[in-house]
Amino acid sequence: MNRKPYPQYKDSGVQWLGQVPEHWELKRIKHLGSIRYGLGEPPSDDPDGIPFIRATDINFGKVDLSSVKRVDPNDVPWGRRPTLEQDEILVVRSGAYTGDSSIVTGDVAGCIAGYDMVLTATQAHPRFLAWVLLSKYLLESQIYLARLRAAQPHLNAEELGGFTVLTPRFSEQISIADFLDEQTGKIDRLIGKKRALIARLKEKRTALISRTVTHGLPPDAAREFGLDPHTRFKDSGIDWLGEVPEGWEVKKFSRSIQIANGQVNPQNEPYASMLLVGPEHIESGTGRLLDVTTAEEQAAISGKYFCNEGDVIYSKIRPELRKVAIASIDCLCSADMYPIRWRHLEDSSYIFWMLLSDQFSTWATLESARVAMPKINRDSIGELQVPCPAQTEQSAITNYLNRETAKLDRLTEKVEAAIIRLQEYRTALITATVTGKIDVREQAA
């Protein structure tokens, strides 16, 4: 960040702030605007009602309206003025997102604030004040300390109003807001392109898996693994599966696999000390295990399934999420999941890849829609007709997919790391600008 500083500075008198531009002043937020609370818990859920903004809808200074809840306008106490007006500022006041904020843009005006505070700027430019609230210096030096004062992160109007911020002249506030609008806009567009790239990489990964487990290896890969490429295909007789290689057998899943029966008590040893895998511990669509802790650490009390090392763990709840993983060691899994293994083979990895395919996911999603709570029962899986190549080809497919998806995963990780660096630069730029470390008046002119 190579930008020029202000010509003259002074000691702010605040240890964590240091030197500030000579003509800037320190003021408390309560002297710059008024603060009110949002509606709180929505009294109803009406798909045709007014959008209701929650803490989880606020991210990186913006409100995401794509998945907001809605509230019946007849159930809203209008005397509390819950609807938002343009240029007001939403500040999350409780939970993991405490301190996150966003200015109210035209598409958000008219919505209802939930468990948020609403800051109306009266003695400062609202866009400038919104950028100040997103700065690292305010979030870390003051809001973070407020979070630490309670077991449940929480921020009230008195605390928010007491926070100290730097305020330049009004015209300079506008210049700073204009500069940050432009510069962060460039960064956000670049982040958007990288997220689109990640989406394409994930689509390519899924397509690779789906094609390989239903049509076999590409010709070059087949020859690499000592196999003849498939040139003739047959109708599987299964709508969701379509054509499969001529030499493959299509048979009931129950003839090839077994699903664990009988549950164990996670409060007893040795089970209490074992890792406990739930659907929340598996990344959707990739099979990647996230942070997993023991049954004892999770305070588990109800029955769980025991999984052998190498078992495929499949979530029967909401199958469209494709929560599938391979047990790397002996462990437990939630009763919402099935431990699955081949009856006759030691390596169940081929099952893992098949359960991640588009074809299986389509069938599982349609099958789960038959009941009120979307889930797959063991009888349905057992009756499912699936393609079964010979064991040598299964091993080749597994090795090929392990290798090729690893390449895509490494590329995805590099793009994700680049996004993190851009987000860090974005935060640093905001902080440097609103604390006067850089002079942007000419650049914004």
Question: Which residues on adjacent β-strands are paired with residue 259?
Answer: 340
| Distant-in-sequence, close-in-space partners of 233: CB < 8 Å, separation ≥ 6 | 215, 243, 244, 245, 246
Asked whether the CA dihedral 292, 294, 298, 303 is positive or negative, the reply is positive
Distance CA 195, CA 303 (A): 40
Angle between helices 391-434 and 170-215 (to 10 degrees): 180
Query: Tens-of-pLDDT digits for all 445 residues of the chain?
Result: 568 999 999 998 887 788 999 999 999 999 999 999 888 776 667 778 888 888 888 887 888 888 888 888 777 776 666 789 999 999 988 777 777 889 999 989 988 888 888 999 999 999 999 999 988 877 766 666 555 555 667 788 898 898 889 999 999 999 999 999 999 999 999 999 999 999 999 999 999 999 999 999 999 999 999 999 999 999 988 888 889 999 898 888 888 888 888 899 999 999 999 999 999 999 999 989 988 999 999 999 999 999 999 999 999 888 889 999 999 999 999 999 999 988 765 568 888 999 999 988 888 888 777 766 677 888 888 888 888 899 899 999 999 999 999 999 999 999 999 999 999 999 999 999 999 999 998 875 5
Residue reference for tokens 């590409």: 218
Give the length of the chain: 445
Both tokens of 348, joined, read: 């169940």
Start-end ranges of CATH 3.90.220.20 in the chain?
25-167, 249-388
Cα gap 87→63, rounded to integer Å: 13
What is the pLDDT, as a whole number, of residue 331? 94
User: Could you tell me where the DSSP H helices lie in 67-135?
Assistant: 126-133
Round to whole Å and give the CA distance between 437 and 239.
64
Confidence (pTM) = 0.84
Q: Contact 428/134 with Cβ under 8 angstroms? A: no
Nearest to 121 by CA among 25, 245, 27: 27
Q: Which fold has domain 25-167?
A: Adenine-n6-DNA-methyltransferase TaqI; Chain A, domain 2 (3.90.220)
pLDDT score, position 78: 62
- Assign domain 249-388 one CATH number from 3.90.1170.50, 3.90.220.20, 3.40.50.300, 3.40.50.10490: 3.90.220.20
Which of these, 293, 253, 263, lies nearest to 275 by C-alpha position?
A: 293
Which helix (H) or strand (E) covers residue 180, if one does?
Answer: helix 170-215
Element (H, E) at 233: strand 233-235
Helix (H) or strand (E) segment spanning residue 305: strand 305-307
Residue 231 in 3-state DSSP?
coil
Question: In this structure, how many other beta carbons lie within 10 angstroms of the beta carbon of residue 424?
Answer: 11
Write the DSSP symbol of residue 78: G
